[in-house]
Each structure stands twice: as C-alpha cells, then as structure tokens.
C-alpha cells in the first residue's frame, strides 16, 4: 500500500532516509532530527510531500518531493529526496 505521509507520521518513516544514506555511501551526513523537522515544515507549509510504500503495515520505501524557487535564479523547481 502507498500512503501519503502526514506531518505526525514523518517520524515513522525518517529512518528510511538514514538507511538510504548509509547504503548509498552518500557524501555529507543525515541527521534524523533535522530531516524530520524540515519535512514536517515542508509538508505543513504545503510545498512538500512524502509518499511511503508499506508492506505488512511497515514502511519499506519512501520518496519525498518539494517545490520551491531555485536559490540561484528564482525559477520554480521540483526536487525529490
């Protein structure tokens, strides 16, 4: 089942981002508390969404998206995270 995540549910899926960073050996760092706070802000403000895939009522995958103005030229962009 795919579910759109509400601000109150962000905490239940944020661990997926941490796993993604570790498994992908991505540069930088992933700080769960900061990621959670930012996604709650994005979703609450109406310019971000997270969709999670659940298997047996456990989130096993997710994608976050947000729409904002590019910091360099002001053009509207969409990003996935």
Which pTM does this prediction carry? Answer: 0.87
Model confidence band, residue 41 (pLDDT cutoffs 50, 70, 90): very high
Model confidence band, residue 7 (pLDDT cutoffs 50, 70, 90): very high
- Is residue 79 within 8 Å of residue 66, measured between CB atoms? yes
**Phi/psi at 56 (5° precision):** 55, 45
Among 26-30, 39-43, 72-76, the least confident range: 26-30
Q: What is the pLDDT, as a whole number, of residue 9?
A: 96
Model confidence band, residue 59 (pLDDT cutoffs 50, 70, 90): very high
């Amino acid at each position: 089942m795919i579910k759109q995540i509400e601000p109150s549910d962000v905490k239940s899926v944020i661990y997926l981002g941490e796993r993604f960073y570790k498994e992908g050996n991505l540069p930088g760092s992933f700080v769960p508390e900061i990621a959670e706070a930012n996604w709650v802000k994005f979703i609450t403000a109406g310019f971000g969404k997270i969709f999670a895939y659940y298997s047996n009522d456990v989130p096993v995958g997710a994608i976050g998206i947000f729409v904002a103005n590019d910091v360099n030229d002001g053009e509207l962009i969409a990003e996935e995270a």
